[in-house]
């Protein structure tokens, strides 16, 4: 109930925060314009989305074959694969690598998976400095916040907010332009790439046939993170696997257009292990940590395993009317918005996070924009079904719906409780919730059937 209560109170606060609404609607508005322009350049978009869906379906049906194939091919080139059942095991394995190397500093590329396992705080507790190199992640790290959005971590901030932050932290002009702020961040981060002991990134895709990871970015920070430090650790969920390097021809454009509206992101890198004898760049050692952390729980749900098809483009967040009103931090989970609402109850427990599946208008826009054609709004309904079947509803809620169902199925009961009683029920049970910010509807004194009978005599 703690998470649900927090969500309720935070949602109410954010929904009526005019400044927050102004900033996020402005930023999502710019995103919408770019994405519509980008999607218009794709031929046979619907066919591409269907193909992306089918490939991911095949992946989930053959996960037990594709993951060992990736491991075998990656280790053949000198890399090492580590399997982690949960966040604690992943953190422990990373710390062991750092201690064996005597590492004290880490530079990080953007990775939602490291956010999922709360890696930064853990490293700090163990005497390791971890610095985010993605500009958006760097900004929220300076603020002591979590990412607000899957793709755009600082979407909730205006350029004035960021200029104020840099002025307070680094003495830049309080009216600095975005270009000046970017140059300052570059100046601060460049030395860190050269001096860091270890680089840590995520992976947008794992390529089974070549034993490679594919990293997509727009700033070049991930390339620096994986090139200068002598050790590179990549951490990715087991669902990120795709069968072939040839599939990137489909997934890279879909991710770019739905994520930012670009034809292709600025930097797309394929990494296949540590530096080889014939190569001049790259780390001496490379590790890939394959993270489960509840994913097999979702995989076991035949109806809802579609949630694992997600390529983390963020399109459903930007389309969702709920997300656009309450923002990302309100969800109290790494993956917010519609996709977070369907996967979090399985990753972190239905009992604590079932309420997220109710935080939806079921308008279907999330399903419409998904590049992997995940039937998101159907998954939300299935999660609601499972929470009820699992007995995770209050007695009052259960009795209320039973009474409603009984009345709705019997016309005589509906007519017996006329408008006077129905209006009293509305005021008694919904005045403080639904009616707090809205005028309650007024039910007519007689039902439609009664009025129709009188009219037809």
β 212-217/267-271 pair status: antiparallel
* pLDDT score for 412: 83
Give 449's pLDDT tier (boundaries 50, 70, 90): confident
Considering the domain 42-293, what is its CATH architecture? Answer: 3-Layer(aba) Sandwich (3.40)
Percent of the chain whose pLDDT exceeds 90: 82
Mean pLDDT of 59-80: 97
Distances from the Cα of 36 to the Cα of 104, 195, 258, angstroms: 45, 41, 9
Tracing tokens 């931090």 back to the chain, one arrives at 329
Other beta carbons within 10 angstroms of residue 82's beta carbon come to: 18
* pLDDT score for 95: 97
Q: Is the pLDDT of residue 414 over 90?
A: no
SS3 content of the chain, % helix, strand, coil (to 5): 60, 10, 30
Mean pLDDT of 354-378: 95
* pLDDT score for 426: 85
- Which ranges of 198-280 would DSSP assign to H, the alpha helix? 221-227, 248-259
In degrees to the nearest 10, what's the CA dihedral of 168, 171, 175, 180? -120
Name, in order, each residue with C-beta under 8 angstroms of 430's C-beta and a sequence gap of 6 or more.
440
Phi, psi of 142 (to 5 degrees): -60, -35
Question: pTM for the whole thing?
Answer: 0.92
Mean pLDDT of 50-54: 98
- Of the chain, the end-to-end C-alpha distance in Å amounts to 53
- Side by side, the strands of the sheet bearing 231-237 are 80-84, 285-291, 231-237, 198-201, 105-108, 129-132
Helices 178-195 and 159-170 cross at an angle (nearest 10°) of 50
List strand residue ranges (DSSP E) for 158-225, in order. Answer: 198-201, 205-207, 212-217
* pLDDT score for 397: 85
Mean pLDDT of 310-339: 96
For residue 117, give both structure tokens.
Answer: 């396992």
Name, in order, each residue with C-beta under 8 angstroms of 64's C-beta and a sequence gap of 6 or more.
none
* pLDDT score for 417: 75
Give the domain ranges of the chain. Answer: 42-293, 400-455
């Amino acid at each position: 109930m703690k998470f649900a209560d927090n969500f309720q109170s935070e949602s109410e606060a954010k929904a009526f925060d005019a400044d927050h609404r102004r900033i996020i609607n402005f930023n999502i508005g710019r995103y919408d314009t770019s994405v519509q322009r980008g999607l218009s350049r794709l031929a046979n978009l619907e066919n591409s989305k269907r193909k992306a869906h089918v490939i991911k379906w095949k992946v989930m049906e053959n996960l037990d074959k594709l993951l060992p194939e990736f491991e075998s091919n990656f280790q053949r080139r000198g890399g090492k694969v580590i399997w982690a059942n949960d966040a604690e095991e992943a953190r422990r394995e990373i710390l062991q690598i750092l201690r064996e190397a005597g590492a004290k500093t880490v530079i990080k590329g953007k990775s939602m998976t490291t956010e999922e396992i709360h890696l930064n705080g853990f490293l700090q507790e163990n005497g390791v400095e971890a610095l985010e190199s993605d500009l958006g992640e760097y900004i929220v790290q300076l603020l002591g916040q979590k990412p607000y959005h899957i793709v755009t971590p600082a979407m909730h901030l205006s350029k004035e907010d960021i200029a104020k932050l840099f002025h307070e932290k680094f003495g830049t002009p309080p009216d600095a332009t975005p270009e000046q702020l970017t140059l300052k961040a570059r100046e601060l981060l460049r030395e860190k790439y050269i001096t860091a002991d270890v680089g840590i990134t995520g992976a947008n895709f794992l390529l089974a046939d070549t034993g490679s990871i594919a990293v997509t970015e727009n700033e070049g920070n991930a390339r620096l993170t994986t090139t200068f430090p002598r050790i590179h650790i990549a951490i990715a969920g087991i669902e990120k696997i795709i069968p072939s390097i040839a599939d990137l021809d489909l997934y890279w454009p879909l991710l770019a257009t739905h994520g930012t509206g670009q034809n292709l992101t600025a930097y797309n890198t394929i990494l296949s292990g540590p530096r080889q004898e014939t190569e001049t760049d790259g780390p001496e050692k490379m590790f890939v940590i394959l993270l489960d952390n509840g994913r097999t729980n979702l995989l076991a749900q035949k109806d809802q395993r579609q949630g694992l098809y997600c390529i983390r483009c963020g399109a459903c967040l930007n389309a969702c009317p709920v997300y656009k009103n309450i923002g990302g931090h309100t969800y109290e989970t790494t993956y917010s918005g519609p996709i977070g609402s369907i996967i979090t109850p399985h990753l972190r427990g239905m009992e604590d996070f079932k309420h997220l599946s109710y935080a939806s208008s079921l308008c279907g826009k999330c399903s419409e924009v998904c590049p992997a054609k995940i039937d998101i709004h159907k998954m939300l309904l299935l999660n609601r079904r499972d929470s009820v079947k699992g007995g995770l509803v209050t007695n009052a809620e259960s009795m209320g719906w039973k009474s409603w169902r009984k009345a709705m199925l019997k016309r005589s009961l509906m007519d017996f409780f006329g408008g006077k009683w129905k209006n009293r029920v509305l005021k008694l049970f919904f005045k403080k919730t639904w009616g707090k910010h809205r005028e309650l509807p007024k039910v007519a004194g007689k039902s439609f059937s009664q009025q129709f009978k009188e009219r037809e005599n």
